[in-house]
Amino acid sequence: MNDRLITIVLLVGLAFSLGVFAVQAGSWHLPGNQQGYEPIQPIAFSHRLHAGEMQLGCVYCHSAAEVSRHAGIPPASTCMNCHRYVSAPLGVLRAEDDLAKKENRKPRSIVSPEIQKIYAALGLDDQLARDPQKNLAPIAWTRVYRLPDFVYFNHSAHVNVGVACQQCHGPVETMDRVKHVSDLTMGWCVNCHRTANAAGVATKPVHPSTDCSTCHY
Amino acid sequence: MAQRKAQHYWRSWEEGPGASEFVQISRDEFAESLDRPTEQFSRRSFLKAAGFTATVTALAAGCSHAPVEKAIPYLIQPEEIVPGVSYFYATTCGGCSAACGVLAKNRDGRPIKLEGNPEHPLSRGGLCVVGQASLLNLYDSHRLKGPLREGQESTWAEADAHIRAQLETIRASRGAVRVLSGTVSSPTLRAQIQTFLASFRDARHIVYDALSSSAIADAHQATHGERRVPHFRFDKADVIVSFDADFLGTWISPVEFTRDYASGRRLDTLPPRMSHHTQVESRLSLTGAKADQRIRVSPAENAAWIESLAACLAKTAGAALPFALNGEVGPHNSIIEQLARRLWQARGRCLVVCGSQEPRAQILVNLINHLLGNYGTTLDWNAPSQQKAGNDCELEALSEELDRGRVAALFLLHVNPVYELPNGPAFRAALGRVPLVVNFADRWEETSSLSRFLCPDHNPLESWGDAEAVRGVYGLCQPAIRPLGNTRSVLESFAAWSGDTRSAYELVRAHWRENIFPHAGNAGEFDAFWDRAVETGFVSTAVQATNAKPFSFSALENLPKISTPAGLSMVLYPKVAMLDGRFAENPWLQELPDPISKVAWDNYACFSPAAAQRLGVQEGDVVRLETTTEGGATTSTELPAFLQPGQHDQVVAVALGYGRQGTERFANAGPKWLFARSGVGADGRVGKNAAPFVTLRDGYLQYVRGGIRVTSTGRRSALASTQGHHSLTMPKDLPLVGGQHRDIVRETTLPALLAGDFKAAPSPAKINGLWPTDHPYTGHRWAMAIDLTACTGCSGCVVACQAENNIPVVGKDEVLRHREMHWMRIDRYYAGEDEVDVVHQPMLCQQCDNAPCETVCPVIATVHSAEGLNQQIYNRCVGTRYCANNCPYKTRRFNWFNYMREDALQNLALNPDVTVRSRGIMEKCSFCVQRIEAARIEARRSDKLIADGQIQTACQQSCPAQAIVFGDLNDPSSRISKMVQGPRRFAVLEEFNFRPAVNYLAVVRNRDASGKSPSEDRSNG
């Protein structure tokens, strides 16, 4: 009797463990594989809006990608190129303009809370002038794509031969919040280098090396 | 002409003529015995451990998430900066007063590497060990963070207020103000000091150099009527005779001189040009190691040799001297006559230099150069050197003033007199009698701890400044980083105390506008001139031709007496890394093995093997060196003995610059583990200070001290000597191709080379290789050539490599265990017995085509690239060390620990393009693959091919002699392809068919074909 109970308990436990394992196994990665990582950022910046709807080119903000190993995160001053004038969604601004016209007054300045964060970082006042009372506070984004220290990856080498950003970073122009799409494993890198060697990048012949020291030194 | 019989090369006395256990030690991979208690590891324990490991791995894998990392961009990005891209700023090296031009490689706002500035007219791209390592001084957490008053933290406003108030009192009471400094190479600072001092009645700027060349300047005062150190032009000299001047190592401006010297010994030009170099010296210096003819003399004989050479030349020239010189040096007159003949034949194309501090010797050397017509050709009188402006006579006067308490204010600028002067203790006591002592030192050291005010200067990489190395050549310093602490440029300090609130930038700019721009000879705007100077890092201006006064023979009438040291003499010398000890807290410099002795982390008493035998001293014995002054006071020190072949038997040589306060920090420089031993001496410091043996006699700092008594203390001390580590041996019992024993290094003589008799490489023989020829090299094929004739062994490449490739410092204890990590080492071989020849051979990974390391790696962590590189993949390596064991060149280094930097701040100097290796990983020279890849990416971006010479490895870039060439062997027009064609090319151990990518060019000595220099004929005097 007692033996039976123990057997049942053990079997239930085993079934539960297997169940949990099965659920976990779906999202199981090797150490270092961050596929699916989608951290919350300090500012809810939407790539879907900027790169998708507005069709801004990737290197407009990530300009270092053409010359440096890092693509770079744009400085707040780049945001201000547009957000000096665009302080809230267009609909909201238009509505306020219409309302102001109707009420025959100057439109009130409307600043969306997310864009306000840029102004705050730059220590700007309501008139978007530098307020010496306020501290400058750089925006600490959470890094999504990260390679181990023993891998050397150079953005410019890839961007300049015509590798599309989306090839590694996925359809960023559809993402509100950036998600780690590819797995960034070595096999994934090497496969692409091999394919490119045979077929070129967008039919342009390139000859990426598959020597170890291309990336590891 | 008969082929010269193969030399017998050896590395240390024990291995060579005094053979003993050395050979065994050098063959063993581990210095220590391996019989540690080993526990029984049973099958059960194995299973337990394996099970546990598997579980933990699975858990770790399942739960692991990379740490959340922040990416913080600029708020407003400076227009010229792109993160991840390196920028080079041209500036001037602050390592010593030679003021070489450097390019500071800046990455993300901080300098990470110094490179020689190839455009600079003097250094021309070379940089020495001190210059390379000076980067680390910037990131030294022991630097003072701000001004101190009476040892308490203060503010600049407070310090200024106090200093100015006190200066007002001194001005009113007409007190004496003294600025004591080393050579100030900055013209702006010199002017600023003069402006500051002008407001006092009794004010003087006193300059001395701890490594003084005062006698050269004074001798020119006597013979040419002006106190100048001429600019020595070794490039124009076809015959060079040096009396104890280590001009390739430490004397005046070694980088420039090395470059000049190498350009006078170019064998790839047609016809080949090769100067003849005779070195007369008492210890074996780096320069002596390179000489075609080396003559060992005792310091006492040195002057006699100069005198008889002068007499001999005077006779040849028919010059009427006011008195007869002694033309006798006993049995060696034939050598003197030969020297004189050789010099006379090269009149106006030769150069005689002397490192002695005896004014008599220097005046006679001037006479020799005058008789040979060298002034105006190899001695540039119009554009004299500004690199050694010290005047020891004034130092004596100052000591007297200090003793009598006459000095009211003393400003100490980058000098450490308590440490480096012979009367240090007296100086210390005298400082107490000065009411206002202001020190600009950037750290606590012997002298600064006694100063009332510490006004730390910026690091040279943090500030604006300038330097005039040779008249008419002005280097500009520009900041490469924002000051790390609340320090202040000396320029600004002196300006502030003169009531001038301008910044260093404004001061330098104003000085250049008024004093340099008018002479620059371009009619443009000053702004354009300035911008150009900032861009290139220097300007050259026309110098006014001053009519050199005729040689004053009256100076010879009452030549100062020479003091001949009796008995055993101590010769105090600077090492290439440590110099006078100014950067003793720099771990890269401390860990660098001296190019001659191969000892790191210590100074020691060098004896010639014969002297050691006579005195009954063995290597490693701690000996007490003692001498008594005329007053009866005794100076003594205890140092381990070191056997130095090639040194005179009446000499004990001791390096200066050790035993510095602050080196206590290196007690735990290495990894912390159970068997770690302290890396410092019993007194807590690295080495012993030998400065008390320096004498200040008749107005000259003398580095030779007679009457040394040597007694044994009975103790022994281990020297961190790397000469037996990683050494190459040619096994005698292996059958070689052709059956001929070939040496690791090859050498020949100039006549043999010109006659076409010499071929360094073995004649091609059929080799039945084990390896298939599976390396087609269809694209590039990287290779290196090292010209051993040009290489002086200065070791600049070693530190350049260390800086570029994030090579850790392991500390003395680990060096003793053969675990130094330098990817590049300078192997030093001796040949001969009493009169030794020296060959230096830079040894780095040879990037073999048939690499023995590659075949034994069980995890394929070291593999061959399609371009001929032997790649070491750190993330794949599991640390079996099979590869190091199988490497015939012993160039692989294993990380026994995570070698942390002793100072965490120094991690800022790490190169972000090179992986920092962790424990358990093998590493080695990568041919600076990061530079190859950077060049490739750049070439593809701009749609060009990689040009020949575009890729420079770190070692090549730094080499003052340009001995190293890197390039593509598949490009027939490349420099390297041409270099490997000649008869001098050989590869080390090429008989074994490793097919290394590093080629060496054999040493050529300018001797007669028998290879003998005349000095070998004479008995040891």
- DSSP structure string for B297-349: --HHHHHHHHHHHHHHHHHHHT---SS------GGGHHHHHHHHHHHHHTTTS
* pLDDT recorded at residue B342: 93
| pLDDT in the model for residue B533 | 92
Lowest mean pLDDT across B9-13, B247-251, B859-863 = B9-13
Mean pLDDT across the stretch A126-142?
89
* Segment B324-348 mean pLDDT: 85
Which helix (H) or strand (E) segment holds residue B843: the answer is strand B837-843
Q: Can you give the pLDDT at residue B303?
A: 87
Secondary structure of residue B963 in the 3-state scheme: coil
CA-based nearest residue to B792, from B960, B952, B965, B645:
B960
In this structure, are strands B599-600 and B148-149 parallel, antiparallel, or unpaired?
unpaired
In a domain, B655, yes or no: yes
pLDDT band at B451 (very low <50, low <70, confident <90, very high): confident
B667 found inside a domain: yes
User: Greater confidence, B95 or B738?
Assistant: B95
Among B354, B385, B416, the domain-final residue is B385
Interface test with B, best of A41, A212, A214 (most B CBs within 10 A): A212
Can you give the pLDDT at residue B770? Answer: 74
Burial of B173 (0-12, 13-18, 19+ CB in 10 A): exposed
Residues ≥6 apart with Cβ < 8 Å to A13: none
Please report which confidence band the pLDDT of residue A205 belongs to, taking 50, 70 and 90 as the band edges. confident
At B1014 the pLDDT is 42
Mean predicted lDDT score pLDDT of chain A:
89
Same domain, B238 and B373: yes
Cα angle B488-B494-B498, degrees, rounded to a multiple of 5: 130
One domain for residues B424 and B353: no
Tell me which of B368, B385, B402 is where a domain ends: B385
Instruction: List, as one string, the DSSP characters of B420-436.
Output: HSTTHHHHHHHHTT-SE
The two three-digit tokens of residue B321, written as one number: 């001297």
pLDDT for the residue B271 = 80
Same domain, B332 and B397: no
DSSP state of B877: -
Find chain A residues with C-beta within 8 A of B83's C-beta. 64, 68, 70, 72
The stretches of B817-889 forming alpha helices (DSSP H) are 852-856, 882-886
pLDDT of B547-598, one tens digit each?
667 888 888 887 877 777 778 999 999 999 999 999 999 999 999 999 999 9
Task: Look at B72 and A138 and tell me if their CB atoms are within 8 Å.
Answer: yes
- CA–CA separation, A127 vs B104, rounded Å? 42
Whether residue B169 has pLDDT greater than 60: yes
pLDDT at B731: 62
pLDDT bin (cut points 50, 70, 90) of residue B66 is low
Between B11 and B659, the more confident residue is B659
Which residues, including other chains, have CB under 8 Å from residue B985's CB and lie 6 or more apart?
A: B760, B761, B785, B979, B999, B1000, B1001, B1002
| Domain finish residue from B697, B719, B741 | B719
Closest-CA residue of chain A to B937: A157
Tell me what pLDDT residue B5 has: 44
Q: B850 — phi, psi (to 5°)?
A: -105, 70
Q: Select from B385, B359, B298, B368 the least CA-distant residue to B327.
A: B368
pLDDT given for residue B290 in this prediction: 93
**Local structure of residue B283 (DSSP, 8 states):** S
Contact B801, B911 (CB under 8 A): no
Whether pLDDT at B904 is above 80: yes
Q: What angle do CA B296, B299, B304 make, to 5 degrees?
A: 85
Compute the average pLDDT of residues B919-947: 92
Taking residues B200-210, report their average pLDDT. Answer: 93
Contact B869 A136 (CB under 8 A): no
Question: Are B342 and B302 within one domain?
Answer: yes
For B73, the closest of A74, A151, A156 (CB atoms) is A74
Chain B residue nearest residue A24, CA to CA: B62
Q: How confident is the prediction for chain B on average, in pLDDT? A: 88
**The domain that contains B474 carries what CATH number?**
3.40.50.740
Q: How many residues does chain B have?
A: 1021
Tell me, yes or no, whether B345 and B287 share the same domain.
yes
**Of A36, A46, A118, A61, whose CA–CA distance to A85 is shortest?**
A118
B923 touches chain A (CB under 8 A): no
pLDDT(B16) > 80: no
Indicate whether B403 and B350 sit together in one domain: no
* Own/partner pairs, B527-535, CB within 8 angstroms, 24+ separation: B533/B474, B533/B476, B534/B90, B534/B476, B534/B478, B535/B90
Is the same domain home to B165 and B247? no
Task: Report, as an integer, the average pLDDT of B951-972.
Answer: 94
Q: Does B189 share its domain with B231?
A: no
Residue B774 in this model has a pLDDT that exceeds 90: no
| pLDDT (0 to 100) of residue B1011 | 59
d(CA B281, CA B305): 11
pLDDT band at B897 (very low <50, low <70, confident <90, very high): very high
B231 part of a folded domain:
yes
Q: Total structural domains in chain B?
A: 3
Residues B416 and B528 in one domain: yes
Distance CA B212, CA B251 (A): 9
CA distance B779 to B744: 31
Choose the closest CB to A150 out of B62, B84, B915.
B915
Q: Is A33 on the interface with B (CB under 8 A)?
A: no
- Beta carbons of A161 and B873 less than 8 Å apart: no
pLDDT surpassing 50 at residue B1: no
User: Which pLDDT does position B120 carry in this prediction?
Assistant: 94
CA angle (B1015, B1017, B1021) in 5-degree steps: 65
- pLDDT at residue B640 tops 60: yes
Nearest CA among B743, B833, B793, B808 for reference residue B959: B793
Per-residue pLDDT band at B973 (split at 50, 70, 90) = very high
Q: Which residues contact B380 (CB under 8 A, 6 or more apart)?
A: B230, B231, B232, B233, B470
- Structure-derived torsion over alpha carbons of residues B126, B232, B1012, B596, reported in degrees to the nearest 10: -50
Helices (H), B64-155: 129-138
Per-residue pLDDT reduced to its tens digit, B510-528: 999 999 998 887 778 999 9
Q: How far is B603 from chain A (nearest CA, A)?
A: 36
Give the ipTM.
Answer: 0.86
Do residue B381 and residue B515 come from a single domain? no
**A140: closest CA of chain B, how far (Å):** 5
Q: What is the spatial distance between Cα B138 and Cα B588, in angstroms, rounded to a whole number?
A: 13
Residue type, B950: Q
- On whether both B165 and B266 belong to a single domain, the answer is no
* Distance from C-alpha of B511 to C-alpha of B505, rounded to nearest angstrom: 10
Q: What is the CATH number of the domain that holds B665?
A: 2.40.40.20
Residue pair B901/B907 in contact (Cβ under 8 Å)? The answer is: yes
Decide if pLDDT at A140 tops 50. Answer: yes
Which pLDDT score is estimated for B449? 79
Give the pLDDT score at B37: 46
Task: Using the predicted structure, report yes or no on whether residue A204 has a pLDDT greater than 90.
Answer: no
Mean pLDDT on B418-441: 90
Q: What is the pLDDT of residue B27?
A: 53
Query: DSSP characters for A23-54?
Result: HHHHT---TT--TT--PPPSS---HIIIIIIS
* B866 vs A contacts (CB less than 8 Å): 209, 211
- Tell me whether residues A211 and B867 touch, CB distance under 8 A: yes
pLDDT of B841 > 90? The answer is: yes
Highest mean pLDDT among A87-96, B927-936, B1000-1009: B927-936
pLDDT at B189 over 90: yes
Q: Is there a contact between B645 and B608 (Cβ–Cβ < 8 Å)?
A: yes
Tell me which residue range forms the domain holding B701: 569-719
Same domain membership, residue B206 and residue B179: yes
Q: Do B72 and A67 touch (CB under 8 A)?
A: no
pLDDT at res. B559: 80
The verdict on residue B87 lying in a domain is no
Other Cβ atoms within 10 Å of B776 Cβ, number: 8
CATH number of the CATH domain containing B256: 3.40.228.10
Give the pLDDT score at A16.
Answer: 85
Task: List, for residues A26-60, the tens digit of each pLDDT value.
Answer: 667 777 788 888 999 999 999 999 999 999 999 99
Q: Does B523 reach chain A within 8 Å, measured CB to CB?
A: no
**C-alpha span between B990 and B910 (Å, rounded):** 36
Strand B1003-1005 with B747-749, pairing: parallel
Note whether residue B744 is domain-resident.
Answer: no
Over residues B714-757, the pLDDT tens digits come to: 999 989 888 877 777 666 655 555 556 667 888 899 988 888 88
In a domain, B186, yes or no: yes
- Please tell me which residue of chain A has the smallest CA distance to B69: A143
- Contact partners, residue B909, CB within 8 Å, separation at least 6: B111, B112, B113, B135, B136, B138, B139, B803
CA distance B271 to B251: 30
For residue B724, give the nearest of B60, B22, B188, B92 by alpha carbon. B22
Is B368 part of a structural domain of the chain? yes
pLDDT tens-digit map of A141-185: 999 998 888 999 999 999 998 899 999 999 999 999 999 999 899
Least confident of A194-208, B485-499, B581-595, B780-794: A194-208
Q: Measured between alpha carbons, how far is B1002 from B1021 in angstroms, rounded to an integer?
A: 31
Task: Tell me the average pLDDT across B231-237.
Answer: 94
How would you write B169-229 as a 3-class SS string? Answer: HHHHCCCEEEEEECCCCCHHHHHHHHHHHHCCCEEEEEECCCCCCHHHHHHHHHHHCCCCE
Of A64, A148, A157, the CB nearest to B83: A64
Look at residue B317 and tell me if it is in a domain: yes
- Distance between CA B84 and CA A213 in Å, rounded? 19
> Which residues of chain A have a CB within 8 Å of the CB of B937?
154, 156-157
B347, with CB counted inside 10 A (0-12, 13-18, 19+), is: middle
Chain B residue with minimal CA distance to A35? B65
Instruction: Dig out the tokens for B889 from the structure.
Output: 């060149």
B846 within 8 A of A186, measured Cβ to Cβ: no
Q: DSSP letter at B526?
A: H
- Report the pLDDT averaged over residues B117-143: 94
Q: Smallest Cβ distance to A68: which of B82, B863, B940?
A: B82
CA neighbor of B799 nearest in space, from B246, B327, B127: B127
